[in-house]
Amino acid sequence: MKKLKPTTVILVTLFSCILLSIPAPETVGSNDPSITEVTPIELGTITSNYYHMSDNSFDRLYSSDGKLKLSYNTEALLKVNLSSADPGVDLNDLEISLLPVEDNNWKSFGDGTEIQLKTFTNTDQTWDFVEYQLRYLPDGNDRPGNYSFSLNFELIQVGLVIRIIGGKPGPGKKVNLKVSDNSGPVGNASVRVNDEVVGTTNPGGILNNLTFPEDEEKVTIAATHDSREATRVFNFEEDDEEDDEGEEEED
């Protein structure tokens, strides 16, 4: 067998040390908010039937219903903005609402800022369908033509989330976890395993060497910071992990 040169050994050792010193990647789990599906909508055509000469008014044009499929299991905020608005149409007259429409749910794109549509707090589910609708109130200054808009929906995590950043969950296994919110790591978060406090996250939001109980089929990890709380449930009886706050497949 060929003997390695000392410099090769040094380089390999150096490489290994560097690899080991780099923190493990955060698990991109299903508790990351995501928009998995957006159905397009059609606003249609404004014809002369929309105009009433008697009082010089127009009827509103309502779009077909659009649908968003969202995935979240921490408190999440759904926002929307118009990323490419056509200057030929007055955006004050273009409004959006989630369905079902309730009083005063319509929000105008007029000021050009992002519209906050809804904060999802029902974190015991991991996905949701949300329907939305646009409406447009024509006015006499609208000129004939085709006008396009691009709606940009964004789902943002606003609550706490627990991510496993090292190790593999399992009975008796040790993991490193990280607690964060949309601003970044959350330090000083109290972490409990099956309602027993096991530690507090460091300023980087990390708690290392959290040990899963040996004989529990179902383990709930909870992190609390101020009034906010995130939980994740691991079920080791079956292959699937049921996660009240962050559903994720678990072998």
Partner 1 sequence: MRKLSILLVGLMLIAGLSVGVIAADSDSHSADANITINSIALLQVNHSSVNLGTLEPGDYTIDDGWQIDSLESEGHTVKAFANFDYAITVEGEDTGSKSLSNTDDFKMKGADLSYSSVIGSSQELVSKDGGTNATWDDIGYKYIPNVNDEPGNYKVTVTYTLSSQ
Distances (CA, A) of 17 to 11, 12, 14, 188, 208: 10, 9, 5, 29, 20
Q: Which pairing describes strands 34-38 and 228-235: parallel, antiparallel, or unpaired?
A: unpaired
Reading the block at residue 69, the tokens are 């499929």
Q: Is 89 or 210 the residue whose CB approaches partner 1 more closely? A: 89
Q: Is 1 or 19 the residue whose CB approaches partner 1 more closely? A: 19
Q: How far is the CB of 134 from partner 1 (least distance, A)?
A: 6
Q: Is 8 or 116 the residue whose CB approaches partner 1 more closely? A: 8
Q: How far is the CB of 235 from partner 1 (least distance, A)?
A: 22
Q: How far is the CB of 102 from partner 1 (least distance, A)?
A: 22
Q: How far is the CB of 160 from partner 1 (least distance, A)?
A: 11
What are the DSSP calls for 71-118, one per residue? E-SS-EEEEEEESS--TTS-GGGEEEEESSP-TT--EE-TT-S-EEEE
Strand partners, 174: 211
List of residues 6+ apart from 150 with CB closer than 8 A: 82, 83, 84, 85
> What is the C-alpha separation between 215 and 171, in angstroms, rounded?
6
Q: How far is the CB of 162 from partner 1 (least distance, A)?
A: 11
Applying CB under 8 A, the residues found at the interface with partner 1 are 5, 7-8, 11-12, 15, 18-19, 22-29, 32-35, 37-48, 50-51, 53, 56, 61, 63, 66, 68, 83, 89, 134, 136, 138-157, 161, 163, 180-182
Whether the bond between 100 and the residue before it is cis, its omega within 30 degrees of 0, is yes
Q: How far is the CB of 139 from partner 1 (least distance, A)?
A: 7
Reading the block at residue 184, the tokens are 């970044």
Strand partners, 42: none
Q: How far is the CB of 251 from partner 1 (least distance, A)?
A: 19
Q: Is 70 or 210 the residue whose CB approaches partner 1 more closely? A: 70
Reading the block at residue 84, the tokens are 């490419």
Q: Is 147 or 202 the residue whose CB approaches partner 1 more closely? A: 147
Q: Is 89 or 223 the residue whose CB approaches partner 1 more closely? A: 89
Q: Is 182 or 194 the residue whose CB approaches partner 1 more closely? A: 182
> What is the C-alpha separation between 131 and 16, in angstroms, rounded?
51
